[in-house]
Chains A and B, each alone.
Chain A
Amino acid sequence: MSNSGTTSSPNNFWKENKGFVFIFPWLVGFLVFKGYPFLSSLIYSFSDYSLFEGISKWGIFNYIEVFTNKKIQTGFIITFKYAFMTVPLKLIFALFVAYILNFKIKGVKMFRTVYYIPSILGSSVAIAVLWKAIFKDDGIINMLLGFFGIAGPHWLSNKTAALFIICLLRVWQFGSTMVIFLAALKGVSPDLYEAASLDGAGKWRQFFTITVPMITPVIFYNLVTQLVQAFQEFNGPYIITAGGPRGATTLVSLLIYNNAFKKYAMGLASSQAWVLFIILMIFTAILQYSQKHWVYYSDEEA
């Protein structure tokens, strides 16, 4: 409270801004590894930058390409399909399992551990290899379906099925989302349930009228983080299906990769990344805005 508008001695200045020293490395890193690349990619997106030939012209042609090229548009549509299939499935499944685990269940810890393992290993190449093996035409999934007299599809060569198994790989990793839900569920006061059951509300009604509203902040958090992740999915489609069959799993992230690192068309790749980025920002903004209509924050503190 010493700096009442008057000049403070250098010694004071140092004392008041000591904390700056601690965050200085981060700030430098931010400017070099994030800020500069972020802005430069915006600039590159208006050029025909090729890694080996440099820039020869400027303009909005990349964006025109993004909005008129059929292949790129398909990429965006597939990305939307993927995200809107994966995220709700994963969240609903995670919440459902967390809800069951939140009852007095013996061996909660064991179940939690088992459910969590896929989340830990899921993004590794090893699991992608495994996925490819179990969804082979003669893999265990089709064998299992065979037991029930169902002829399984050719998962890896059928367009819809291929996108579905990529999505399933992420849903399978619902563990970390579930752990977050579980922690939130534990925070819901038992009094609320007690009051509700005195009022004669059944388990389902309690779930929708008490549980869900009380944990909306966590649903919101999971929704945003999962959506951001889903829109950038790369490993699954790249390793398991290589974007195929016939482009059916070529998400935007793969298009960007192909343009930038196979064709070295850095300008075009940057513009695709920016369009994806802006779409993501719009979604996040919509969610943020909608928050006040459905997210319940208890008024203890901000």
Chain B
Amino acid sequence: MTLERKRQIATVAKYVVLILVGILMIYPLVWMIGASFKPNSEIFSSIGFIPKEPTVQGYKDAMNGYGGDIDIWKSMLNTYKIVIPKVILTIVSCTVTAYGFARFKFKGHDFLFALLMATLFLPNVVLNVPQFIMYNGWGWVDSPLYLPLIVPTLFAQDTYFVFMLIQFLRNIPRELDEAAKIDGCTALGTLWHVIVPCLKPAMTSAALFQFMWSSNDFMGPLLYVSTPKRYPAAIFVKMSMDADTGFSWNRILALSLISIVPSLVVFFIAQDQFIDGVTAGSVKG
């Protein structure tokens, strides 16, 4: 009886903790949605999220651009002009690299693999300055095609994804490759017909993470985009915040919210792949 009772209390306690943590996680976001529909005078007057006098003024104001060069829609379009090529190039280049490392022996394989692993832990902070100098020399800074942000992904430079794909590849039986070889597949054919279909879940995870990280990326565009009409949403929202805080919070909250809607939608559609992706890189390794 007492043991049973103790167990019940423990179970209730667990749910209470989990729900409290859940509220801490989600309430700021819920409040943000509510606040974006409040008049400015109401936003900081109560802790509740339901607007007393709902208004879409914040959203109306959010549509105003700056000097006609840039507004929220144009900036979001710019964001995806960066994000989509990055995602596609990352998937292709990282898959090819992972295939090369995981399935072949060649001269210098082990040394190069060690190098790859080392760059996984190479902090970006040492690269920012010299990369900027290099891109500046090439005339890539403020490039209309966002070259400094996109081109490195063509060369599989987001090592984390290469590593993640290698981890997955190790679990695909080599017999499949052998069979394809016997059937007359070339190395490239094997990659396309055998590896890619098996690797699809991992490739999806990598694509999703690259999508999120690139959409959120702030420092990249901060360094390499300086013309307002080319600002992605991250820079546009930051600029609006600097210009507006103190008087027009509903506008800036509405802007922020609009800018994260695509990420939220993608997350809700593909949440399981995210979770699988996070664990794949670490636990199996």
Q: Please list the residues of chain A having a beta carbon within 8 angstroms of any beta carbon in chain B.
A: 16-23, 25-30, 32-34, 36-38, 40-41, 44, 49, 51, 97, 100-101, 103, 105, 111-118, 120-121, 123-134, 136, 138-140, 143-144, 147, 172, 175-176, 179-180, 183-184, 187, 218, 221-222, 224, 228, 231-232, 234-235, 238-239, 252-253, 256-257, 260-261, 266, 269-270, 273-274, 276-277, 280, 284
How many A-B pairs have beta carbons closer than 8 Å: the answer is 258
Given A37-B131, A260-B132, are A22 and B124 neighbors across the interface (CB < 8 Å)? no
| Interface residue ranges of B251-285 to A (CB < 8 Å) | 252-253, 256-257, 259-260, 263-264, 267, 271, 274-275, 278-279, 282-283, 285
CA distance A16 to B107 in the complex (A): 8
Query: In chain B, what residue has the closest Cβ to A271?
Result: B129
Q: Is the CB of A121 within 8 A of B216?
A: yes
Q: Which residues of A contact B134 (CB under 8 A)?
A: 36-37, 40
Q: Is the CB of A129 within 8 A of B93?
A: no
Q: Is the CB of A111 within 8 A of B18?
A: yes
- 12 A-B residue pairs with CB within 8 Å: A22-B101, A26-B156, A40-B130, A51-B133, A97-B17, A100-B14, A126-B260, A180-B278, A180-B283, A183-B282, A273-B126, A276-B123
Q: Is the CB of B46 within 8 A of A22?
A: no
Q: Select B223's contact among A133, A139, A261, beta carbons within 8 Å.
A: A261
Q: Is the CB of A124 within 8 A of B129?
A: no
Query: In chain B, what residue has the closest Cβ to A139?
Result: B44
Asked if B238 lies at the interface with its beta carbon under 8 angstroms from chain A, I say yes
CA distance A37 to B253 in the complex (A): 38
Q: Which residues of B contact A253 (CB under 8 A)?
A: 125
Q: Which residues of B contact A18 (CB under 8 A)?
A: 104, 106, 187
CA distance A252 to B129 in the complex (A): 13
Given A30-B115, A105-B18, A123-B218, are A130 and B32 neighbors across the interface (CB < 8 Å)? yes
Q: Is the CB of B100 within 8 A of A19?
A: yes
User: In the complex, what's the smallest C-beta–C-beta distance from A121 to chain B, in angstroms?
Assistant: 6
Q: Is the CB of A273 within 8 A of B283?
A: no
Residues 13-32 of chain B: 1 if any A CB is under 8 Å from the residue's CB, otherwise 0? 01101100110111011011
Q: Is the CB of A266 within 8 A of B116?
A: no
Query: In chain A, what residue has the closest Cβ to B115?
Result: A30
CA distance A280 to B121 in the complex (A): 10
User: In the complex, what's the smallest C-beta–C-beta distance from A281 to chain B, in angstroms?
Assistant: 9
Interface size class of B (residues with CB under 8 A): 35 or more
Q: Which residues of A contact B96 (CB under 8 A)?
A: 22-23, 25
Q: Is the CB of B234 within 8 A of A129?
A: no
Q: Is the CB of B127 within 8 A of A37?
A: yes
Q: Is the CB of A266 within 8 A of B129?
A: yes
Q: Which residues of B contact A32 (CB under 8 A)?
A: 155
Q: Select B105's contact among A19, A105, A114, A187, beta carbons within 8 Å.
A: A19
CA distance A135 to B260 in the complex (A): 20
Q: Is the CB of B129 within 8 A of A256?
A: yes
CA distance A276 to B152 in the complex (A): 24
Asked if B176 lies at the interface with its beta carbon under 8 angstroms from chain A, I say no
Asked if B136 lies at the interface with its beta carbon under 8 angstroms from chain A, I say yes
Q: Which residues of B contact A37 (CB under 8 A)?
A: 127, 130-131, 134
Q: Is the CB of B128 within 8 A of A260?
A: yes
Asked if B37 lies at the interface with its beta carbon under 8 angstroms from chain A, I say no
Q: Is the CB of A118 within 8 A of B25?
A: yes
Asked if B164 lies at the interface with its beta carbon under 8 angstroms from chain A, I say no
CA distance A133 to B250 in the complex (A): 10
Q: Which residues of A contact B157 (CB under 8 A)?
A: 26, 29-30, 33-34
Given A26-B93, A269-B129, A273-B129, are A235 and B18 neighbors across the interface (CB < 8 Å)? no
User: In the complex, what's the smallest C-beta–C-beta distance from A48 to chain B, in angstroms?
Assistant: 14
Asked if B63 lies at the interface with its beta carbon under 8 angstroms from chain A, I say no
Given A26-B93, A126-B237, are A179 and B278 neighbors across the interface (CB < 8 Å)? yes
Q: Is the CB of B126 within 8 A of A129?
A: no
Asked if B112 lies at the interface with its beta carbon under 8 angstroms from chain A, I say yes
Q: Is the CB of A44 within 8 A of B130?
A: yes
User: In the complex, what's the smallest C-beta–C-beta distance from A42 to chain B, in angstroms?
Assistant: 9
Q: Is the CB of B282 within 8 A of A221?
A: yes
Asked if B245 lies at the interface with its beta carbon under 8 angstroms from chain A, I say yes
Asked if B143 lies at the interface with its beta carbon under 8 angstroms from chain A, I say no
CA distance A25 to B116 in the complex (A): 13
